[in-house]
Structure 1
Amino acid sequence: MRVLYLRCGDASPPAPAGVETHTLDDVPSRRALRFLDEATTQILPEDPTPSLDEIAARPDVAHLGTPGPAPQAPHLPERLRVIVAGTDAALSAVLTRLMRADHLWAEVGFVPSSSDSTAARNWGLPTSGEAALELAMTGTVRPVPLIRTDAGVAVAGSATITDWETPEITGEIIVDDDVLVRHEGAGGVVGARLVPMLDAPGIVAGRTVLPPAGWRERITTWPVLRRFSRGQARTPKVDPDTLFTGRAVQAGGPALGVTVDGVRHPRALERVTFYRHLRDLQVVRP
């Protein structure tokens, strides 16, 4: 097995001796990640499995069920494991590069640089650098859905949809066929927060609100959503009574702010869609 260790930022632990290491910025650029294309092409010069267009043209939707092993696995002369050490934003950048090149057959390990990582909590990873690195190096792959935007950005841990300027959103947010938000800038609705699931259908999303003073965090079966619930009174919190699961989240409004893993889209959007990609992530996790 070939292992690539991507050390994103100064806080990442050093790689074990003999492991191919690439030292990158906190959030690596597309140009800085070009070596991933070279590594994947060396192992699999031509992909003999159906393309994304061919999969999308099929009348069935088997590829949207329980996440499964990469179809390229039987054709690989050697396994490739890409270990990302850094933030959720760094992991998102790497997943985006692999997704756009259609190289999601590569195994992905993650060493979070902070205990505040939503991706690490969602995947059940250790937050200790040494323990996380040990798991990433020696653990087994358990596939999960890959959630992306219609602009081709992969979601590693979480994403939010808000208004571009004002505290409360004006717009509509729909999870599959369920209306999560329909709001016109009054009443305390901030927007929505979504995280990838470990199984089908792929996304869990909840409405974010400005709660009244004295509001207390409620227990939810989706603890990864509670990160947005911590803080002082009148800070945005996920309403646990508004959780929906689905394959896609669509939002529209005059000026939406869209943030993926802490990185905000550089301009206001009138619409955005998050949806499950046709390929699954091959994640190393417990």
Structure 2
Amino acid sequence: MRVLILRCGDTPVPADLPGTVLNVPAIPGRRDLKLLDAAAADLLPTDPTPSLDEISAQPDVPHLGTPGRAPQAGHLPEPLRVIVAGSDAALSAVLTRMMRGDYLWAEVGLVPVGESSVARNWGLEQVDAWQVALNGAANPVPLIRSDLGIALAGSATIRSWDDGEFTGEIIVDDQVLVRHEARDGIHFNGVFGARLVPMVDAPGIAAVRATAPEKLSLTWREKIAHRLTGSSLLDPDSLATGRAVQAGGPSLAVTIDGVRHKRPLERVTFYRHLRDLQAIRP
């Protein structure tokens, strides 16, 4: 097995790790991941399995059901294991590069740094993440991406650009999660967009409605009411799952793994990629 360990930023790593340690920025870019591209090309110079175009032309696209093992595995001289020691944003950057390079057949592990939705989603919070990443088995999970060409690792939010009440519509497959026009003077228990996370099984995406601003600032009266009503930042009863999430509105703020898109959008779509991610998790 060929192991590449991406040390993102100043993340501490143990000494004498098996494999090759690459020092990259906290959120690596394309140039920082050239050695990852090269390793994938070395192990699989030509992919003999169906291309993305051929997969999308299939009438039933069966892989959009239960996630499956990468068909390229039987054509590799040895597996390629990529371990990201860093944040969810770092993992998103690595997955984005792998998705664009079309080598999601590589196994991917995470040693999380700081708050991590991926750690919760993959069950890494109560285990030795290094032990899992180095010795655990790869299990296929859906890879969720945006129409901006960015892979979603842990969580994303769709909100109003000014963090006020949401105006617009958010749909999960054919189910309306949010359809709302902003009102004045609402500070909590309102409609503030949605939060979505990748699932580890089909259909791929779970989303809930947000009921408070992202940067919540309550007066003392509101804090008391907040405690009395038991309201939270998210509405768990609104949970919807699907293969795609589509949103439209006059000024959307889209944040993927903590990285906010640099300008407001009028529409965005998240959907399940045509290839699954081979995630190393318990």
- Superposition deviation, residue 261 in structure 1: 0.3
1:154 partnered with 2:151: yes
Give per-residue Cα distances to partners, 1:54-102, cap 9 Å, x unaligned.
Answer: 0000001211010010010111111100000000000000000000110
Separation of aligned partners in 2, 1:127 and 1:110: 14
Separation of aligned partners in 1, 2:138 and 2:85: 17
SS in 1 for 2:164: coil
The answer (yes or no) to whether the contact 1:40–1:80 under 8 Å persists in 2 is: yes
Give the counterpart letter for 2:84 in structure 1.
Answer: V
1:206 corresponds in structure 2 to 208
1:26 partnered with 2:26: yes
- Superposition deviation, residue 134 in structure 1: 1.2
Q: TM-score, length-normalised on structure 1? A: 0.89
2:272 corresponds in structure 1 to 276
Give the counterpart letter for 1:193 in structure 2.
Answer: R
Give the counterpart letter for 1:216 in structure 2.
Answer: G
1:252 partnered with 2:248: yes
Separation of aligned partners in 2, 1:272 and 1:17: 40
Separation of aligned partners in 1, 2:242 and 2:75: 32
Separation of aligned partners in 1, 2:126 and 2:266: 37
1:221 corresponds in structure 2 to none
From 194, 197, 205, the counterpart of 1:195: 197
1:224 corresponds in structure 2 to none
The answer (yes or no) to whether the contact 1:15–1:21 under 8 Å persists in 2 is: no
SS in 2 for 1:190: coil
Alignment of 1:33-72 (within 5 A): 33-72=33-72
Separation of aligned partners in 1, 2:19 and 2:77: 19
Separation of aligned partners in 2, 1:55 and 1:63: 9
Give the counterpart letter for 2:252 in structure 1.
Answer: L
Separation of aligned partners in 2, 1:133 and 1:27: 20
1:225 corresponds in structure 2 to none
From 199, 203, 216, the counterpart of 2:230: 216
Give per-residue Cα distances to partners, 1:227-270, cap 9 Å, x unaligned.
Answer: xx5xxxxxxx1101100000000000111000000000011000
| Comparing 203-212 and 11-20, the one that deviates more | 11-20
SS in 2 for 1:41: helix
Alignment of 1:137-176 (within 5 A): 137-176=134-173
1:223 corresponds in structure 2 to none
1:243 corresponds in structure 2 to 239
Structure 2 CA distance for partners of 1:267 and 1:20, relative to 1, 3 Å: same
Separation of aligned partners in 2, 1:124 and 1:56: 31
- Superposition deviation, residue 14 in structure 1: 3.1
The answer (yes or no) to whether the contact 2:247–2:267 under 8 Å persists in 1 is: yes
SS in 1 for 2:89: helix
SS in 1 for 2:66: coil
Give the counterpart letter for 2:91 in structure 1.
Answer: L
Give per-residue Cα distances to partners, 1:108-129, cap 9 Å, x unaligned.
Answer: 0110012x2110110001467x
The answer (yes or no) to whether the contact 1:157–1:196 under 8 Å persists in 2 is: yes
2:3 corresponds in structure 1 to 3
SS in 1 for 2:10: coil
The answer (yes or no) to whether the contact 2:3–2:18 under 8 Å persists in 1 is: no
Separation of aligned partners in 1, 2:135 and 2:65: 27
1:96 corresponds in structure 2 to 96
| Comparing 8-17 and 19-28, the one that deviates more | 8-17
Separation of aligned partners in 1, 2:28 and 2:18: 23
- Superposition deviation, residue 35 in structure 1: 1.5
From 260, 264, 269, the counterpart of 1:264: 260
Give the counterpart letter for 1:79 in structure 2.
Answer: P
Separation of aligned partners in 1, 2:18 and 2:144: 33
Equivalent pairs: percent with the same residue?
A: 65
SS in 2 for 1:40: helix
SS in 1 for 2:96: helix
